[in-house]
Structure 1
Amino acid sequence: MSDAAKKKTGKGELRETIVIIVQALLIALVFRTFAFEPFSIPTASMQSNLLIGDYILSSKYSYGYSRYSLPYSEVPWNGRIFGSSPERGDVAVFRPVPQRDNYVKRVIGLPGDRIQMIDGTLNINGEEVPRELVGEDIDRDSSGLDLPVQLYRETLPNGVSYVVQEVSDNAQFDNTSVYTVPPGHYFMMGDNRDRSLDSRSLTAVGYVPFENFVGKAEWRFFSINDNIPPWQIWRWPGNVRFDRMFTSVYE
């Protein structure tokens, strides 16, 4: 083959490689924008259901699309299209009104609901939500502080059941006034009740407009101890939690 032919072949292969890379990037962008978006769990607020160092996939199509579920929330667009409303018990990614960071919490209150905490027990519309003591554990937060916790299985009025953690029944948000959820808004709480900043703090999180939902948490696809960056592959042995990978958030 002549030098000119080799040069032409080389240019063709380079062009083909560039096309493949661009196509792959476009597919990844479309997938992230309209299908699933990955998020990491950096805090203890959803333990023991979502651990610090878990990586989850959030489905965009479950709740439809708004400017908060797109890559650029500064887009001048209000409202939401397609999808359905969140259900009580969903674990959802959302953007609190006063903040710019994404949060992951559980949907507890629907529009019009009355929510109250009494001695650590959740009450919805004047009815106590059943909780059953199922064990004890040691909970570690993102600063490495260990505290003993009691584990309760909580069952919402629609039958959704999950485990919550309580350090005590007399912490800051264990006894509250009644929260009345405004129309078009939702009340979000962490499963780690005494280590979660959520809708119980009206100034920090408050009621979450439906528009501010990013997506529904669906799957854990990776998990590693102590928030170790996943690209540090040399630290994987002994730190990757293989038993949590590729599991449903609702198991």
Structure 2
Amino acid sequence: MAAKAEKEEGIMETVKTVVYALLIAGVFRTLFFQPFWIPSGSMKDTLLIGDFLFVNKMAYGYSKHSCPFSMCPIPGRIFGSEPERGDVVVFRHPVNNTDFIKRLIGLPGDRIQVRDGVLFINGEEAVQTPAGTFTETFEKQGPVGNMPRCTTPVGIGADCEKDKFIETLPGGVSHSILNITNSATDNTGVFTVPEGHYFFMGDNRDNSTDSRVSQQVGGVGFVPYENLIGRADRVMFSSAGRSLFYVWTWRGDRFFKRIE
């Protein structure tokens, strides 16, 4: 009987340990840092498919979307601070409840327009400086197996190139962007960002579903403040393969890389 009691006590201790670990992990994920894996190429070459990062949830405070499944009982946002233009932000899509990661371009009250692929904010041009090309292999990428888009069509295994520029936003923040081709979103009307909302764009400008397209036709549109989850500051780990266990596909040069 004593052995049975000890066994049952051991099982209960194991259960308690697992429960405590899950609670601690849940609190850590809700209040401090949320893991995020990059599944698509919309933020190349700032973020690549297979990059793994932790999102700083303390940066903008907390809302109902800070908890998994948007279950935090928080009206609006608490301990909030304003994001800055140029931040790379994870947010909850206003309609389909999916987490997106894009660059913050427009603040409340801003007028945003794209003309011939060049961004204008409040009438001021975000200057683009040529920075060569971004080259990757034309092959399936990541677990989903997406194929990259190239400026010129190429065959499997060939170099897939895109024009690269350094874009400088009003205020001085600079970052890399890519151009593939002339697309419908290279020329837009003027978007006036409503109060309490933000305007986002992907750095891979011709391969990004973002605020340039309205929610009614499958885009992102304007994103409410409460939908911001956190700021992406640094890539922690990166793998170009279909599995994290493919050690030979790890990108060591991207480990702990700062996101700019």
Q: Same fold per TM (> 0.5)? A: yes
Cα distance in 2 between the residues matched to 1:87 and 1:229: 34
Counterpart among 39, 46, 50 of residue 47 in structure 2: 50
Distance change >3 Å, CA 77–CA 18, structure 1 → 2? closer
Counterpart among 194, 208, 217 of residue 182 in structure 1: 194
Cα distance in 1 between the residues matched to 2:234 and 2:17: 28
Q: Is 1:215 aligned to 2:230, yes or no?
A: yes
Name structure 1 gaps, 5 residues minimum.
none
What's the counterpart of residue 157 of structure 1? 170
TM-superposed CA distance for 1:136, in Å, is: 0.9
Report sequence identity in percent.
Answer: 47
**Residues 9-24 of structure 1: pairs in structure 2 closer than 5 A:** 9-24=6-21
RMSD after superposition:
1.9
TM-superposed CA distance for 1:30, in Å, is: 0.5
**Residues 66-215 of structure 1: pairs in structure 2 closer than 5 A:** 66-73=63-70, 77-138=74-135, 143-147=146-150, 148-168=161-181, 170-203=182-215, 204-215=219-230
Task: Report the 3-state secondary structure (helix = DSSP H, G, I; strand = E; otherwise coil) of the residue aligned with 2:49.
Answer: coil
What's the counterpart of residue 245 of structure 1? 255
Asked if 2 retains the 8 angstrom alpha-carbon contact of 1:93 and 1:104, the reply is: yes
Write out per-residue CA displacement over residues 47-95 of structure 1, whole angstroms, 9 at most, x where no aligned residue: 0010011111111111111111211325675411113111100000112
TM-superposed CA distance for 1:13, in Å, is: 3.6
Cα distance in 2 between the residues matched to 1:171 and 1:18: 55
Cα distance in 1 between the residues matched to 2:164 and 2:85: 20
Task: Report the 3-state secondary structure (helix = DSSP H, G, I; strand = E; otherwise coil) of the residue aligned with 1:68.
Answer: helix
Distance change >3 Å, CA 74–CA 11, structure 1 → 2? closer
TM-score (norm 2): 0.86
Cα distance in 2 between the residues matched to 1:50 and 1:199: 19
Distance change >3 Å, CA 100–CA 135, structure 1 → 2? same
Write out per-residue CA displacement over residues 147-192 of structure 1, whole angstroms, 9 at most, x where no aligned residue: 0311111111222111000113x32111111111011110000000
Asked if 1 retains the 8 angstrom alpha-carbon contact of 2:124 and 2:170, the reply is: no
TM-score (norm 1): 0.88
Asked if 2 retains the 8 angstrom alpha-carbon contact of 1:95 and 1:212, the reply is: yes
Name structure 2 gaps, 5 residues minimum.
151-160
Cα distance in 2 between the residues matched to 1:83 and 1:97: 19
Task: Report the 3-state secondary structure (helix = DSSP H, G, I; strand = E; otherwise coil) of the residue aligned with 1:72.
Answer: helix
Asked if 2 retains the 8 angstrom alpha-carbon contact of 1:92 and 1:215, the reply is: yes
Residue correspondences, number: 241
Amino acid at match of 2:220: V
Cα distance in 2 between the residues matched to 1:246 and 1:25: 26
Asked if 2 retains the 8 angstrom alpha-carbon contact of 1:44 and 1:52, the reply is: yes
